[in-house]
Amino acid sequence: MTIRAHVEHFAITDELFNVWHQTADGLGNQTQTLKLKLADIARYPSRQAFANAAKVARTIEQQSKGDQQQLANALATSLEAAAGN
């Protein structure tokens, strides 16, 4: 029996990845989990890794106000787009 794993390849520029990290830095002290999820993307960029990071960003968005809420929304939207959602 042969099992083939479906492999997805994601091309993320270093610039975009840096923007995601800078945006996470701008979200204040609630970003530790988000940064871990971004590290997961760096290690193994998969649709699930992007979706997990976007979910954390959406949670931060719900818990934030003002500029931080807008940053979290922009980050989540970008991650969702990268995941293909």
| Angle, vertex CA 49, rays to CA 28 and CA 9, nearest 5 | 130
pLDDT at 45 (0 to 100): 84
Cα 31 from chain centroid (whole Å): 11
pTM of the predicted structure, to 2 decimals: 0.83
Could you report the per-residue pLDDT of 28-79, keeping only the tens digit for each? 777 889 999 999 988 888 889 999 999 999 999 999 999 899 999 999 999 9
> How many angstroms from the chain centroid is the CA of residue 72?
10
pLDDT in tens, 11-36: 678 888 888 888 888 887 778 899 99
Q: 10 Å Cβ neighbour count for 2?
A: 3
Which DSSP category does 49 fall into? H
The band of 3, judged by pLDDT with boundaries at 50, 70 and 90, is: very low
What is the domain partition of the chain in residue ranges?
14-83
